[in-house]
Homo-oligomer: A and B are copies of this chain.
Amino acid sequence: MTVTSHDPRTAAPVSVADETGTAELAAVLRAAEEAASVLATTGPAERRRWLHAAAIALEEHRDELAALADAETALDLPRLTGEVGRAADQLRFYGDVAAEGSYLDVTVDEATETTPRLVRVNRPLGPVAVFGASNFPFAFSVLGNDTGAAIAAGCPVVAKAHEAHVGLSVRQVEIARQAMTSAGAPDGVLQLVVGRDAGAALVRAPQVTAVAFTGSQAGGMALWRLANEREVVIPVYAEMGTVNPVVVTRAGAADAAAVAEVASGFVGSFTLGHGQFCTKPGLLLAPAGAGAADAVAAALRDADPAPVMLSRAIATSVGTGITAMLDAGAELVERVPAPDAANGAPAAVLRAPVSSLKPGSRLLEECFGPVVLVCEYAADDELADTLRTLQGSLAAGLVTGGADDPQARELVRVLSGKAGRVVVDGWPTGVAFTWAQQHGGPWPATTVPAATSVGAHGLARFLRPVAFQSVTDHWLPTEAREDNPWSLPRRVNGRLPEAPQGQR
């Protein structure tokens, strides 16, 4: 059995890869388990070196990889060339976060008259299964945020190749694995499996200790259910995304020029990557009478997008999504026809009365692709009621009239209860990988709302704390030892962690 990827523009086959068979999977799992015991004893600075080596190797193959990615995804060379650099920088970032050492959360309570000595440290879970997304074939795929964070945290990764860019998946893992093993990593630090059966077997495998997923609701929920049926249940960190709402205040839509600017920014955001972003703003809530829907329609016509989707299935779902939203009470304001390409899809602006946003309505669910809904609210309490009915989302936006906007403070509060990230006077697409990033959100945007799949806190998903009580120092794992050979920040007796004085 093989998996074949196709050019979204022409439907021509691009890459073919053999599915991973049972015996091969068993060998992969054995190697991952062996690597896990090695990684559990490596220092974070050592894993940082591996990740930096992988980043350099990615950059060295930038043009080759971007070209292959463009053939498999049609996301266009300039964007894909840039994304290789982003993916490389992400790998460096997670390595740097590990080396900083706070992720281990070393906490020491010295013995008292009534309590024993306790040292608590985060330990790596073991092999992690990574299921990447098709819409970011570098930044959120086999070498994306999940893989970088897992290896940084000390967990080997078994990635599942994405079927839509199977050739690129194979090639990226080859390149990164070669670079990391040359830098001293064990063979099992990063491996790939191909095929849906192998992916499901991975989630069921006793050796696998956590699953990270980026993609559709259907895919993420299926893995979550599968993991919950295991004898030893493991966490599934599925980042799925939903409708990311953007609210425009009255002051933010004060005149026609302001509305036109909002519309233009909105169109720019929701057509990025042909609308295939998990942070795509899918719903614009604008004040009644501002003409927002017509302005968005005009801006969409100006933008004149020609969406070519990542797969035939996604392209088809754009059309069926529009139909379902029309059936649910929306009306069409503008529809840009699909371009002449194998996976061409339309782009569309729909409008619906805010009263139609009722729990259970199709209008409250994501339509992946360049399709958006514009609703007009009359009074603040109508807006508040509507926001309450929305599903949890990764991000939420607010367009204001500036620092004295009377609606803004309360809307920031309400939106922060609905999303993992609140963006003011900007658009939700674009997710910086930094210390303060939160790329997550309430169920069903993710399966674990306390987790983030981007940013420094992403390592926490792959760790489990262990307390060592009265354990003789030289029997402790290195990160828990009193002489602190890795120079880690340590919280001692509840005092705020301090970096150790110099290297020891």
* A219-278 at interface with B (beta carbon < 8 Å): 228, 232-235
**Contact residues in B for A437 (Cβ distance below 8 Å):** 109, 118, 120, 467
Q: How far is the CA of A200 from the CA of B503 in the complex (A)?
A: 54
Q: How far is the CA of A417 from the CA of B33 in the complex (A)?
A: 13
Instruction: Verify B477–A403 contact, CB threshold 8 A.
Output: no
Instruction: Verify B475–A408 contact, CB threshold 8 A.
Output: yes
| From A119, A497, A499, residue with most partner B Cβ within 10 Å | A497
Instruction: Verify A494–B456 contact, CB threshold 8 A.
Output: yes
Chain A residues with CB under 8 Å of chain B are: 100, 102, 105, 107-109, 114-116, 118-120, 123, 228, 232-235, 392, 400, 403, 408-409, 412-413, 416-417, 419-426, 432, 434-438, 440, 442-444, 447-450, 452, 455-457, 460, 463-472, 474-477, 489, 491, 493-494, 496-499
Question: Lowest 5 CB-CB distances: which A-B pairs, in order?
Answer: A438-B467, A118-B436, A115-B432, A120-B436, A107-B436
- Contact A412:B475 (CB < 8 A) given known A422-B468, A469-B422: yes
- Name 19 A/B residue pairs within 8 A (Cβ), A-sorted: A100-B494, A107-B436, A109-B435, A114-B432, A118-B436, A123-B416, A228-B228, A413-B477, A420-B467, A422-B467, A423-B469, A424-B468, A424-B472, A426-B470, A435-B491, A436-B467, A489-B496, A496-B499, A497-B497
**Contact residues in B for A497 (Cβ distance below 8 Å):** 496-497
Instruction: Verify A412–B471 contact, CB threshold 8 A.
Output: yes
Closest to A118 in B: B436
Instruction: Verify A496–B450 contact, CB threshold 8 A.
Output: no
Instruction: Verify B435–A468 contact, CB threshold 8 A.
Output: no
Instruction: Verify B464–A450 contact, CB threshold 8 A.
Output: yes
**Contact residues in B for A460 (Cβ distance below 8 Å):** 450
Instruction: Verify A465–B457 contact, CB threshold 8 A.
Output: yes
Quote the shortest CB–CB distance from A217 to chain B (angstroms): 13
Q: How far is the CA of A196 from the CA of B120 in the complex (A)?
A: 36
Quote the shortest CB–CB distance from A404 to chain B (angstroms): 9
Quote the shortest CB–CB distance from A472 to chain B (angstroms): 5
Q: How far is the CA of A328 from the CA of B123 in the complex (A)?
A: 34
Instruction: Verify B424–A470 contact, CB threshold 8 A.
Output: yes
A463: which of B114, B235, B450 is its contact (CB, 8 Å)?
B450
Q: How far is the CA of A403 from the CA of B471 in the complex (A)?
A: 10
Instruction: Verify B116–A467 contact, CB threshold 8 A.
Output: no
Q: How far is the CA of A123 from the CA of B339 in the complex (A)?
A: 45
A498: which of B421, B457, B476, B496 is its contact (CB, 8 Å)?
B496
Instruction: Verify B100–A436 contact, CB threshold 8 A.
Output: no
**Contact residues in B for A466 (Cβ distance below 8 Å):** 416, 419-422, 438
Q: How far is the CA of A422 from the CA of B123 in the complex (A)?
A: 13
Closest to A454 in B: B467
Instruction: Verify B477–A102 contact, CB threshold 8 A.
Output: no
